[in-house]
Amino acid sequence: MKVAVLGAGAIGAYVGAALCRADVEVHLIARGPHLAAMRRDGVRVLSPRGDFTAAPQVTDDPAEVGEADYVFLGLKAHSYATAGPLLKPLLGADTAVVAAQNGIPWWYFHGLKGHQLEGTRIEAVDPGGSVSEVLDVERAIGCVVYCSTVIERPGVIRHLEGTRFSLGEPEGGISERCVRLSEAMIAGGLKAPVEPNLRDDIWIKLMGNVAFNPLSALTRATMAQICEHDDTRELVATMMTEAIEIARATGCEPRISVEKRIDGAHRVGHHKTSMLQDLEAGKSLEIDAIIGAVVELAELTGVGAPALKHVHAAVGLLNRIGANA
């Protein structure tokens, strides 16, 4: 098996290092000091499950890698539309693209048999079809990430918690290509269940992301601080309830209660969400996939979602003016 990791940041490098332990041929595509350090010293993983070092091949040029069996996308979803030139050299006739993204994927209504919105393009995550033009939905394998990692320093990944990467086909069912990848990831020390209906998993994670990510960016608060303040905890519950209603309108049933989901987030403690980390780093916020697409789904399905719409408006303005305005 040959796997290319496009965007070998904290999550991508961690997955690549794990796959190396399963004797997979891994190529990490990265840039900057992180690239230089991994080329020189390999990938060092520091983890409560045990530290290890892996030596994947590392480059900044996908043309050096060539066609792969799987491409693991470690990019933020808002970068997908411009990833075509990097992705093209990696794609063979049967290459699968594993989209390990937060939020609603561009392929969401692909293969949703019998649903009135089957085949509908979600403008927030596929504006004008720009993403589906680059990422053919037939290649896509969905991936819901329940794992937290950070780049402690170039070439060194700190694994904080979680090893689960749920995999699934947009059209549902259990495919051979998903099973093969799952087996390799498990052999490398990860949890990689193949879900026959990955959309339910997407919504379980999204219940947290759609509320905590934008609220943390707007308030600069950690997840624990949001949970411990009565008013923001109530707002989180309202946003999660609206998200569940939208999920049900698209035929999904996230099987977790709002209170259980909030309690789970509270236990994470004083963790800064990825959106808050991006804000503090001066990066563009991953709004469209995490909350913009959910608001669009509310409109498409006729579900009222006033809290989500209001928070979306506020965080959208924050993203426009920037953290230091």
Active-site residues: which are they? 205
DSSP 8-state symbol, 161: E
Q: In terms of Cα–Cα distance, which of 55, 72, 70, 63 is closest to 155?
A: 55
- Whole-number Å distance between alpha carbons of 321 and 325: 6
φ and ψ at residue 169, rounded to 5 degrees? -85, 140
Which own/partner contact pairs does 311-315 have at CB distance under 8 Å and 24+ positions apart? 311/211, 311/214, 311/215, 311/218, 311/235, 311/239, 312/214, 312/287, 314/214, 314/218, 315/214, 315/217, 315/218, 315/275, 315/285, 315/287, 315/291
E strands present in 84-155:
91-99, 140-153
User: What is the three-class DSSP state of 249?
Assistant: helix
Give residue 77's identity as a one-letter amino acid code: A
Q: In terms of Cα–Cα distance, which of 53, 102, 72 is closest to 3?
A: 72
Q: Is residue 54 within 8 Å of 21, Cβ to Cβ?
A: yes
